[in-house]
Amino acid sequence: MDTAQRSGCPINLTLEMLGDRWSLIIIRDLMFGNRRHFRELLTQSEEGIASNILADRLRRLTESGLLSRRDDPSHKQKGIYSLTEPSIQLVPLLAQMGAWGRRHTQASEELSIRAELLEEGGPAMWTAFMEELRALHLGAPVPERSVFAELQAAYLAVVAKNARAE
């Protein structure tokens, strides 16, 4: 066991890897927002992460094997971040966290519609989403179903409905 770890408990080890709020937010934004560049992650996150914290978390997540980074062929100083298989396998955990948050917090309608759909869709939808993420991030074959498109369409529909109501 690594001496830096507090214990070998799998929950503890998971929290040591993912336990700070920003790590899961970054994975969420890559997963549900397909934000793949530093600038997108910095400017398009609702939570307003500071650039130094973002850089640190991207480095940590890459070092821990949850993200990979490759050079952007269009710009040598930019990198493209991708989810790895271990982070793709976080879909059920994030779906459950979203479901819990919808029940026990005052989440906004716009930002909880994806969680609602994932909860209703259950493991079958999670599996389909993970297949799509493997295609987007790991180069696997593209599945017929696009859960990402379904989630995005539902989000945009709620945003449009709420804009009309204002």
Mean of per-residue pLDDT scores for the chain: 92
Which token pair is 150? 């379904």
User: In whole angstroms, what is the distance from residue 18 CA to residue 130 CA?
Assistant: 19
Indicate the DSSP class of residue 54.
Answer: H
| Selected residue with higher pLDDT from 106 and 18 | 106
Region for residue 147 given its phi and psi (left: phi exceeds 0; alpha: psi -120 to 50; beta: otherwise): alpha
Q: Write down the pLDDT at residue 1.
A: 39
- Residues 44-78 have pLDDT tens digits of 988 999 999 999 999 999 999 999 999 988 887 88
- Residues 23-46 have pLDDT tens digits of 999 999 999 999 999 999 999 988
Which token pair is 8? 């070998």
Phi, psi dihedral angles at 150 (to 5 degrees): -65, -45
Q: Average pLDDT for residues 128-134, to the nearest whole number?
A: 98
Q: Indicate if the pLDDT at residue 3 is higher than 70.
A: no
H helical segments located in the chain: 10-18, 21-33, 38-43, 51-63, 85-88, 91-104, 109-138, 147-165
User: In whole angstroms, what is the distance from residue 150 CA to residue 44 CA?
Assistant: 20
pTM of the model: 0.88
Q: Indicate if the pLDDT at residue 112 is higher than 60.
A: yes
